[in-house]
Each structure stands twice: as C-alpha cells, then as structure tokens.
Amino acid sequence: MGGPTRLPAAAGIDIGGTTTSAVVIGDDGAIVAEASLPTPAREGGTAMFRTAVRVCEMAMSRGRFELTAVGVGAAGVIDPADGSILAASNSFRDWAGYPLASDLRMALHVPVVVENDVNAFIEGERRIGAARGLDDVLGMTLGTGVGGALVIGGGLHTGPNGAAGEIGHVPGFGNQRCSCGRTGHLETLASGPAIARRYLERRGSGNGAAELTAVDVAAAAREGDPAAAAVFDDAGRAVATAAVMVATLVDVTHVVVGGGVARAWDLLQPAIEAGIAAEPPVSEQPITVVASLLGVHAVAVGAAFLADRGVCT
C-alpha cells in the first residue's frame, strides 16, 4: 500500500455498564489514542459487540497505527477457554452466552483476549498505575456493582472455581438487598447505585429522584449535606472492613480502589483510614488503600496489556 509506516499498537476495550471505551497503547506502554461511546446495554449482545468494534475503530483512526492485538475487559464471568460471556448482570440484555472473543476476532482480524473487567483493571494498575511493582494486591472497583480481583505472588488468584476475589458479595454489611439477590453484601453500601439509594432513604425522598447518582450525592456531601456525607462515610468504612478481611485472611495489605465512586476519593479516604485505624488486622501489618491512578482508562489499559502480552485463547 505504501505511505508512511504505521506504528504497531495494541488496543484495549472496556465494556462497562454505561460506557464502552477504547485506548491504543504504543510500544512504550503509553496511551496514544482513545475513544468512547455509550454502552447500549439494553439493546442486547449484538449491539454491545458492534459498539465495541466501533469504539476500537474510532480510537485507531486517531493515528497511523497497525493493530496487532485487542484486549477486552468486560463485566461478567468470562469463559477462559474461548473468551465468551458465561454470566452477566441483569442490566446487560442477551449478554450471557455471547461469543465475544470469536466475533471480535472475525471483525478486527487480530488476536483477541477477553478478560473480566476487574481483572483487567488491576492488570492496568499493576503495569502503569497505582499498583506498579506490587505482587500482592487487591483490586476493588466501586461502580454499578462492587468488583474484586486478587493478585497473589504476582499472578491473578482465581481459585479452583474461578470465584476468588469477589469482595463485593461478602456478607455482614447491613440488611439491604444486593443486586445478586442476597442480603447485606459490601456492594449494598459501596456501589454507586447503593450510595444514591441510601442517600434518598436518609432524605426520606424516594420519589422523583430516580436520576440521582453517586456523583450528585458526592456534590451534596461537598456542599455540607450531612446525609450525603454519612452515606460516603458508610461506604468508606465498609471498604476499610473489606480491606481488613483480606489482609487478615491472605496477608494482602495493598488495595487499589477504582470505578466511578472512587472519583469521590476526597470523601471516601478519611472514612477508609478511620475504619482501618479502628479495626487493624491482627498481624498489625499496615494496610494501604489507594485510589486508582488510571481512572476511567484502567480497564482498557489493562486489557491492552493482556492482549499485547499474547495471552491469546
């Protein structure tokens, strides 16, 4: 074809509950292009797949790149054998069972790796983010739900059933109904929807505020609204308790917190630190809980690194 040389680059795609985004990373691991679109979660798996392809092509069109591999971080349980979606939350229509990796491979003509979004998140943070250099760390994402990924001895610890690290669904955090159908899970205090719902309950205003989000509650807390501050305090203390549980059980004392709710780190951090100080682990090892450095890019960056490393299915 001729023309200027194209730079070999890997792309990472993050298929999240509200936004699908892509990044292109160059040889040195830096983000060289990005793009995003709303996730058509209610339109079904095919629409979500098409959006993933489009957002990848949009990011690729922002430079002269030669696509070498694509990594995807997707919500849900991913089949490690073929990169299909084994199970997904009810907010995604027709997503469970979707053959995501094989469809992307056919559409983009490069090797494709699909990984759970929280696993991709902690990979991104370990490569160029807040967990760089850490071989033992818990990644926790506070978003539509609460996700977890446990890295032990430099590798992702998935457990014999692939269920390790699901910190969002440990019980003992009150009596509210969780998205999974059970009661009192960490997610019922620390997810974005939980923060919005608990704020409305405290205010006694259930009606007419369906559009309220954790971002609005954070703004109210910063303006001195005590109900909003209390909800973030509860979320932070719950995150601290979860961190102490993990430190106590498996001696992992570093936690990186991402997801949309972590953008209110100014509101969460004091409660997290107070919670850890109030219930330190019996080992008396210090626990470090920090916010994601890569923010909205963490999942896509981690997915791109996973693809680039050639862990292809």
237 binds Zn ion (CB under 5 A): no
Token output for 146: 């609460």
For residue 181, the one-letter residue type is G
* Selected binder of Zn ion within 105, 126, 127, 169 (CB under 5 A): 169
By the rule CB under 5 A, 263 interacts with Zn ion: no
Q: Which residue has the tokens 């691991």?
A: 29
Residue 180 near Zn ion by CB under 5 A: yes
One residue of 185, 198, 237, 254 binding Zn ion per CB under 5 A: 185
Number of alpha carbons in the 13 Å side-chain half-sphere of residue 68: 18
CB burial readout 195-231, b (16+ within 10 A) else e: bbbbbbebbeeeeeeeebbbeebbebbeeebebbbeb
Judged by CB under 5 A, which of 178, 218, 256, 291 binds Zn ion?
178
Q: How far is the CB of 88 from Zn ion (least distance, A)?
A: 15
274 scored as a contact of Zn ion (CB under 5 A):
no
Nearer to Zn ion, 88 or 229 (CB): 88
SS3 of 39-83: the string is: CCHHHCHHHHHHHHHHHHHHHHCCCCEEEEEEEEEECCEECCCCC
Give the total of residues touching Zn ion (CB under 5 A): 4
- Alpha-carbon distance of 150 to 20, in angstroms, equals 24
What x/- string results for residues 98 through 117 when contact with Zn ion is judged by CB under 5 A?
Answer: --------------------
Q: Of 37-45, 162-170, 220-228, 233-241, which segment contacts Zn ion by CB under 5 A?
A: 162-170
Would you tell me which residues interact with Zn ion (CB under 5 A)? 169, 178, 180, 185
